[in-house]
Structure 1
Amino acid sequence: MSDFSSTKIKILQQPTRFEWVEQAIANLDTILLDHSHCERKAASMALNIMFRYPSWTVLVRKLTAIAREELEHFEQVNQWLERRQVALAPLNAPPYGKRLKALLRHQEPDRGLDFLLISSLIEARSHERLGLLGEYCPDRELAAFYRGLMASEARHYGVYWLLADTYFDRDIVQSRLEELAIAESEILSTLHPEPRIHS
């Protein structure tokens, strides 16, 4: 499609290809179901990081707010599933999350930095892809819903990056972010055969 343009997200190394958009639009019910799981996992990740580093006061405050908002989004997506008569059910996960998690270094404080930067990359990719759904989804009301979530996702990836910048030297943050962003794009370089938000 010649007029396709994906908004460039600064911290992402490669934009999403239009093949993903076509796959997602052709399988909206599955995408919604996967989106529900993504919001639940995002809340869980925020809580996990918060409980790992309870002495990081700013982090605890910021991630408490993010976890609360992710659960609100979880409920909103579930309402869409109900409207479309799609039962909340398990899905096979694409390799995206597992392969990103494998990049976490084991020693602290490196592990803490990786948690924050990987979370930032996931939120940035979500922001980009929800924006694409908002632009190309044929259901106008659902498209508007996705456009409405974009600002939250942008804020979330910004919060994770700022937390990394708060607790770690900026040069170290930038260097590691570049490494992880390259890996994140490589994970998505081959379209997963099943439609997912991160596939």
Structure 2
Amino acid sequence: MSLNKCTNIFLMLLPTTTKINIIKEPTSSAWLTQALANLETILLDHSHCERKAAGVALNFLFRYPSYQDLVRQLTAIAREELEHFELVNQWLERLNIPLTALKPPPYGALLKEQVKPQEPERLLDSLLISALIEARSHERLGLLAQFCPDPELASFYRGLMACEARHYGIYWLLANHYFDKDRVRVRLDELAVVESQILAHLHHEPRIHS
């Protein structure tokens, strides 16, 4: 079965709730409380997250230009992440929130430390970490969609969460396309444990991945 056909089947089976099976531990109520009390900062950080997500997809294209299926799928993701970046920036303008720099939380850097330096392990780990980040984004945007006091902003988050789920699925499918499924399952389980451990202690600054 082709990767494109697998992707289409996955999209038909996307979850409609905030539960993502590859995540080991759900987001804590402490994060939601922190996020709702700092929605402007969360929205600004969301802008940075969309920009970084586009950069991650583009970096795959530069590092693995001969991987045809990867290039096709991640070109589309990079384009969509940049579209989301623009949409979030429109919200920032609407709310008069300056597009300024934010110090990133340790989440991304700590996950990147788990990537094995040698190929093909580097590709596998990079795909699975990207899947985990997108899955966590899906979960947290879903929480914001459910609990955000501004109905219009909540609707905006609801619209984006499905995209995050699709992106997580594409990274996961690419890993299974290029690597043995049992190998993917074992490594994903290992990385998912680390991902949840990183988030076990709430970061003191409100962020999407704090």
TM-score by length of 1: 0.96
Residue 51 (structure 1) shift:
1.1
**Structure-1 residue corresponding to 2:131:** 120
Give ranges in structure 2 of 5+ residues lacking alignment. 1-16
**1:176 corresponding residue in structure 2:** 187
Which of the numbers 169, 185, 191 marks the counterpart of 2:202?
A: 191
Q: 1:43 aligns with which of 18, 42, 54?
A: 54
Paired residue for 2:13?
none
* Identity score, percent: 69
Which of 18, 27, 30 is 1:19 aligned to?
30
Total equivalences in the alignment: 194
How far apart, CA to CA, are the structure 1 residues paired with 2:24 and 2:162?
20
Q: CA deviation at 1:8?
A: 2.4
- Per-residue displacement from partner, 1:1-58 (whole Å, max 9, x unpaired)? xxxxx83210000000111111000000000000000000000000001211111100
Deviation at 1:145, TM superposition (A): 0.1
Distance 1:151 1:7, change over 3 A: closer
Looking at structure 2, the residues matched to 83 and 19 of structure 1 have their Cα atoms a distance apart, in angstroms, of 28
Q: Does 1:163 align with 2:174?
A: yes
The partner residue of 2:85 within 71, 74, 86 is: 74
Equivalent-residue separation in structure 2 for 1:79 and 1:85 (angstroms):
10
* Residues 1:9 and 2:9 are matched in the alignment: no
Does 1:154 pair with 2:165? yes
| Cα distance in 2 between the residues matched to 1:139 and 1:8 | 23
- Determine the structure 1 residue equivalent to 2:41: 30
Instruction: Quote the Cα distance in structure 1 between the aligned partners of 2:19 and 2:157.
Output: 18
Deviations 1:62-119 (A, max 9, x none): 0000000000000000000001100000001110000001111011000000110000
CA distance in 1, matches of 2:177, 2:23: 21
CA distance in 2: counterparts of 1:64 and 1:7, whole angstroms: 26
* Runs of at least 5 residues in structure 1 that lack an aligned partner in the other structure: 1-5
What's the CA shift string for 1:117-156, capped at 9, x where partnerless? 0000000000000000000000000000000001100000
CA contact (8 A) 2:131 2:168 kept: yes
Divergent runs of 4+, >6 A: none
For 1:33 and 1:77, the matched residues in 2 are separated by: 8
Superposition RMSD in Å: 0.8
